[in-house]
Amino acid sequence: MNPKPISPVSGGEPSGSGLPPQSPETDAAAEAVVSDLVTSLGRRRLYREVTLALRSGLREAKADFSFLRTRGLRGLIKFLQSVACSDESVRLFRHSQTIPELQVIPVLFQNTLSSPKDNHPSVTLDHVFGVDPVKINSPATDNEVSLALRVLEGCCLMYSRCASQAQKFKAIKVLVNILSTRGALARAACLDALISLMLDSPINQKDFDECHGLERVADILKDEDVDENIRLKCGEFLLILIGHVHGKENSPIAHIHEDIKQLFGEKCASLIWAASQFGSTLDPDQRQTALQIQARRVLESLEIQ
């Protein structure tokens, strides 16, 4: 028995029972759905990585022993360096700082940057004969403090609200004290952290003025017994600070030019002001080189007075 021939349809193509071909619009919609799904999964993965790195670093940064806190702070620095390479990571970091258990600033000031007396409570007979032992943290070393200040600097540069949060812990007062009492390693990090705290933060600038921070920096800069690298760092600090507040009449430290005259004399103050206007159009590497050269000039002008 011969098979029945298939009836032709329009255009001479045989008819079939398969699915109709998809239109270009349907293909585009499907691709968009897949793309959105991939993006969403990637964002979730990135958020898990951010939160995991933060939790790990913060857990050790809260430890009782300095070597553990130091390890945690190093981890946080590596984390911040990796975050800075991606706009999406920066956005997620900023979001994470709205979650109390992931906030970095409180951990820094409640542990490494806290007052030494807070870490060494007085031991009484109640502690000796009591059931619960007194909790004593090992003191922070200069290395640990410098790492904490680097973390503070990175947080403030990536998220301005971190600077506002730090103000609640009297950050400027704490850092000015570190500048006066710690070694060279912590002092250098302290000057960078002070700049990051005061950038576009009038309340921190006001605290700096009330804590006589400028006088502290000037004393170090003029002290020939201080390590030259720290004195140069102080010079760079002044140049950046003056350049930042120049022309901002509403700044709490807008009177800084007059203060500089009183601290260094009119001739040196004029040099500092002129040097603070180094090229803003230069690329970062050139700006850093120019800043170092101008800081050297300021230091030399002080030495020949």
Which pLDDT score is estimated for 34?
Answer: 61
Fold of the domain built from segment(s) 40-118+140-211: Leucine-rich Repeat Variant (1.25.10)
Local confidence band at 301 (pLDDT 50, 70, 90 cut-offs)? confident
Compute φ and ψ for 48, nearest 5 degrees: -65, -40
Higher pLDDT, 125 or 172: 172
Residue 277: strand, helix, or coil: coil
Which pLDDT score is estimated for 78?
Answer: 95
Mean pLDDT of 69-86: 94
pLDDT of 292 > 60? The answer is yes
10 Å CB burial of residue 100 (0-12, 13-18, 19+) is exposed
10 Å CB burial of residue 213 (0-12, 13-18, 19+) is buried
Convert the pLDDT of each residue in 127-179 to its tens digit.
Answer: 555 556 666 778 999 999 999 999 999 999 999 999 999 999 999 999 999 99
| Alpha helices for the chain (secondary structure H) | 24-61, 66-83, 87-96, 105-110, 116-119, 125-129, 142-158, 160-167, 171-181, 184-198, 202-210, 213-222, 228-245, 256-264, 266-275, 284-303
What is the DSSP-derived secondary structure letter of residue 86?
A: -
pLDDT of 204 > 90? The answer is yes
pLDDT of 13 > 60? The answer is no
Which pLDDT score is estimated for 169?
Answer: 96
Contact (Cβ atoms closer than 8 angstroms) between residue 56 and residue 73? no
What is the DSSP-derived secondary structure letter of residue 174?
A: H
Average pLDDT, the chain: 84
Apex 225 CA angle, 220 and 226, nearest 5:
45
Domain regions of the chain by residue span: 40-118+140-211, 212-305
Mean pLDDT of 244-255: 80
Compute φ and ψ for 242, nearest 5 degrees: -65, -40
pLDDT of 46 > 90? The answer is no
Local confidence band at 20 (pLDDT 50, 70, 90 cut-offs)? low
